[in-house]
Amino acid sequence: MKAALEQIRQDALAALQAATTEAEVEQLRVRYLGRKGSLTEIVRTLRDASPEERPALGAAINEAKREVEARLAEVGGRLAGESLARSLAEDRIDVTQPGRQRPRGHVHPLRAIEDEIVDIFTGMGFRVAEGPEIEDDFHNFEALNIPHDHPARDSHDTLFVEGGGEGLLRTHTSPVQVRVMRASRPPLRVIAPGTVFRRDDLDPTHSPMFQQIEGFMVDEQVTFADLKGVLSHFLRRFFGAETGVRFRPSFFPFTEPSAEVDIACPCTRGGTADPACRVCKGGAWLEILGCGMMHPAVLRAGGLDPDAVQGFAFGAGIDRLALLRYGLDDLRLLYDNDVRFLSQF
């Protein structure tokens, strides 16, 4: 046993002397001092020795282990120091070199337009409200005076939530006005920006998901003149103080009377429209949003008395406003997430 112990000691010391990496030192530690290492295994053979031999053998084994452990620490420390020195020499940072500027993110152009719209309306005393994107039939249609057999439902082409029931992806942000009226009392001045969904194919002017902003005011003695004043101020703040604004009679089931609002195309600044203008196609006017006085049925659905209070409402597509602001002709550019395009804004 003594001869075997001596051979193990010499092999361990020789292997450590030849080790060149910290990984090799760790492998040798496991080979000789691990749970199944050579010096650990030889301790278990003491039970086969006679009682007279055990003390001397135990002392020899302990001495061999101490010597191997000391050499392990010495060689491991030396190699670690060499590795650190090599790393410091090779990975040295030249603090005199100019730094590299990291690219910074920025607000998406649609979000920037939304923020600007919100700022204009909050400056007029409006507050922002939000509602769920998954709506029910009552808030999305019935409460807005759009019953089941109303032809206006066809133009919305709704996306229903899988599993049946009345769950659907809201087709406009108008349901927010009903929820706010039921939770608050007039006077109310509210805008509700958000994402809406319709069963449309993605093309230059349509998308199954787009951004919309709804706004409404409810108070005593609210008139169409208030509506015209608010929207004219908004459009001239957004597009420029000299922007021409006109209101055309229209129809929406949730407002009566209703109107479409147009702005004069920038190509008419000289007084006449440009037939070659790719924005208005020579028509001189651009449709911007729909609006009107809130229908008495909508006020009643919101828990209000139409004989005591009146209100107006309007809705606009943030995507369309963004296309006009940036001079774009393809809605898909705003949703493709091409950094080369978005970085221009």
97 within domain boundaries? no
Q: Which of 150, 125, 120 is nearest to 137 (CA)?
A: 150
> What would the 3-class secondary structure string for 34-91 be?
CCCCHHHHHHHHHHHCCCCCHHHHHHHHHHHHHHHHHHHHHHHHHHHHHHHHHHHHHC
99 within domain boundaries? no
Do 71 and 188 lie in a common domain?
A: no
Q: Which of 62, 90, 118 is the last residue of a domain?
A: 90
338 within domain boundaries? yes
Instruction: Give the integer Cα–Cα distance in Å for 309 and 36.
Output: 89
Q: Which of 90, 124, 146 is the last residue of a domain?
A: 90
- CATH, residue 170: 3.30.930.10
Mean pLDDT across the chain, nearest whole number?
A: 85
pLDDT at 270: 53
Do 146 and 225 lie in a common domain?
A: yes
pLDDT at 316 over 80: yes
Q: Band the pLDDT of 156: cuts 50, 70, 90.
A: low
Q: Kindly state the DSSP code that residue 206 receives in the 8-state scheme.
A: B
Q: Band the pLDDT of 13: cuts 50, 70, 90.
A: confident
Mean pLDDT over residues 62-89, rounded? Answer: 82
Gyration radius of the chain over CA positions: 39
pLDDT in tens, 224-277: 999 999 999 999 999 989 888 999 999 999 999 999 999 887 766 656 767 767
Do 228 and 314 lie in a common domain?
A: yes
296 within domain boundaries? yes
Do 86 and 193 lie in a common domain?
A: no
Task: Return the higher-pLDDT residue of 167 and 297.
Answer: 297
Q: Which of 90, 124, 154 is the last residue of a domain?
A: 90
Given a contact cutoff of 8 angstroms between Cβ atoms, the answer to whether 121 and 215 are in contact is yes
96 within domain boundaries? no
- DSSP helix/strand/coil, 242: coil
Do 134 and 65 lie in a common domain?
A: no
Do 21 and 154 lie in a common domain?
A: no
Q: Which of 282, 276, 283 is nearest to 262 (CA)?
A: 283
Q: Residue 331: phi, psi to the nearest 5?
A: -60, -30
pLDDT at 279 over 70: no
Do 308 and 169 lie in a common domain?
A: yes
Cis peptide before 257 (omega within 30 of 0): yes
Do 66 and 166 lie in a common domain?
A: no
pLDDT at 81: 86
Any residues with CB less than 8 A from the CB of 115 and at least 6 apart, and which?
107
Lowest mean pLDDT among 35-44, 141-150, 165-174, 295-304: 35-44
Which domain, by its residues, includes 186? 109-342
196 within domain boundaries? yes
pLDDT at 99: 81
Lowest mean pLDDT among 92-106, 117-131, 216-230: 92-106
103 within domain boundaries? no
- DSSP helix/strand/coil, 224: helix
Do 243 and 121 lie in a common domain?
A: yes
Do 192 and 53 lie in a common domain?
A: no
Number of domains comprising the chain: 2
218 within domain boundaries? yes
What count of Cα atoms within 13 Å lies in the side-chain half-sphere of residue 29? 14
pTM of the model: 0.67
Maximum average pLDDT range among 73-87, 126-140, 195-209:
126-140
Do 192 and 256 lie in a common domain?
A: yes
Do 201 and 52 lie in a common domain?
A: no
